[in-house]
Amino acid sequence: MKLAVDIGGTSIRFGLIENNKIIKKQVIDTDGNNMKKSLNKIKTIVDSWNEPIDFIGLCCPGPLNLKRGTILTTYNLPDWNNRCILKEFKDLFEIENVKINNDGNVAALGQFTVRENLHSLLYFTISTGIGAGFINEGKIFEGFSGAALEIANALPIYKNKNSKRSGIEFLASGKNICLQLQELGVEVNSTKQAFELYKKGDNPIVNDFFSMIEEKFISLISTSIYFFNPQIIVIGGSVAMFNQDFFNEIFKKVIEVTEDIGYQTKFEFAQDLDDSTLLGCCKM
Tens digit of each residue's pLDDT, the chain (284 residues): 999 999 988 899 999 999 989 999 999 999 999 999 999 999 999 999 999 999 999 999 878 898 899 998 887 789 999 999 999 999 999 999 999 999 999 999 999 999 999 999 999 999 988 999 999 999 999 999 888 999 999 999 999 889 999 999 999 999 999 999 999 999 999 999 999 999 999 999 999 999 999 999 999 999 999 999 999 999 999 999 999 999 999 999 999 999 999 999 999 999 998 899 999 999 98
Tell me the sheet residues that pair with 2. Answer: 17, 55
Give yes or no on whether 2-103 and 107-274 have one common fold.
Answer: yes
pLDDT of 72 reads 87
Q: How many CB atoms lie within 10 A of CB 204?
A: 8
CA 207 to chain CA mean position, Å: 26
Nearest to 112 by CA among 280, 275, 267, 264: 280
54-80 burial code (b ≥16 CB/10 A, e <16): ebbbbbbbbbbbbeebbbbbbbebeeb
Q: Give the number of other Cβ atoms within 10 Å of residue 194's Cβ.
A: 23
Contact 63, 48 (CB under 8 A): no
Peptide bond into 204 cis (omega under 30): no
Rg of the chain over all Cα atoms, to the nearest angstrom: 19
Task: For domain 107-274, give its CATH number from 1.10.3720.10, 3.40.50.300, 3.40.630.30, 3.30.420.40.
Answer: 3.30.420.40
Q: How many CB atoms lie within 10 A of CB 105?
A: 28
> In CATH, which superfamily holds the domain spanning 2-103?
ATPase, nucleotide binding domain (3.30.420.40)
pLDDT of residue 95: 96
